[in-house]
Amino acid sequence: METKSKNRCFGGVQGVYSHASEACACDMTFGLFLPEIAKDMEVPVLWYLSGLTCTHENAMTKAGAQAWAAEAGVALVFPDTSPRGEGVADDEAYDLGKGAGFYVNATETPWAPHFRMWDYVAEELPALIGQEFSVDMERQAITGHSMGGHGALTLAMSLPGRFRSVSAFAPIANPTQSDWGRKQLGAYLGADETKWAAHDATLLMREKGFDGPVLIDQGGNDQFLHLLKPEALAEAMAAKRQAGSFRTQPGYDHSYFFVSTFMEEHVAFHAEALYA
């Protein structure tokens, strides 16, 4: 692992690190914020998964999460959204290839050799962080925005006992029924739609639900509502009687202005679960 940068931040340290990833067969970069209290004790971990076109840096610099994580005594992990580098397959479209890993393990050509973001986020990166930093991997929570909200929800429901809480900002909620999903799941996983169901938060909510609290925020003026399909997830949560809240925030769009507005509440939501 190589340290790319370290900056003092709200009393703690915002670091950026790179390492050779076995899962993705390339070098990967991630951000990690450690609050000041991590000098004296292991702190719980909140994962933030970013959306389409993003890197590790977008939420790290735009979401305003470090101030609230420092106050709560929580570490923040900002993974990248896809493999990078020479030899990694890409596409001319912004919503496929680099910057659009969709948090799945690709099985199809040309994506399969590198696009294994599920294994990376679920297994490899947690193991590395638990080994190298002062964090308590027995206390984890997860959140994300858009494509990252999709990833947060699907990981949380598919790994029971791993995360104490899950939240999402404007998640891609029903990708098997959306152009933000059918295109990518077909490309990465093939034409057999039965393989897609494991990566659809609405279908997972109907089948499994989550063994902890859920918080969803959706902007009422989001320009991508027709692609996100929040109503499907809201209906699934209600039918499952899922513990948690699905909130529509009037006037807010899909941007980081929306994310940063409600970040304090999301960090507090997770801190309550992590320190319970």
178 as an active site residue: the answer is no
**Which of 50, 80, 222, 266 is flagged as catalytic?**
222
**Which of 146, 165, 167, 178 is flagged as catalytic?**
146
DSSP 177: G
**Cβ 163 vs Cβ 212: under 8 Å:** yes
Q: How far is CA 206 from the centre of its chain?
A: 20
18 as an active site residue: the answer is no
Structure tokens at 110: 């040309």
Residue found by looking up tokens 């939501």 in the block: 269
Torsion of CA 246, 251, 257, 261, to 10 degrees: -50
Instruction: Give the C-alpha separation, 71 to 271, whole Å.
Output: 10
**Which of 150, 254, 266, 270 is flagged as catalytic?**
254
Measuring CA to CA, how many Å separate 21 from each of 18, 65, 110, 128, 177? 9, 26, 18, 10, 32
3-state secondary structure 18-45: EEEECCCCEEEEEEEEECHHHHCCCEEE
Exposed / middle / buried, residue 191 (Cβ in 10 Å: 0-12, 13-18, 19+): exposed
150 as an active site residue: the answer is no
Q: Which residues are catalytic?
A: 146, 222, 254
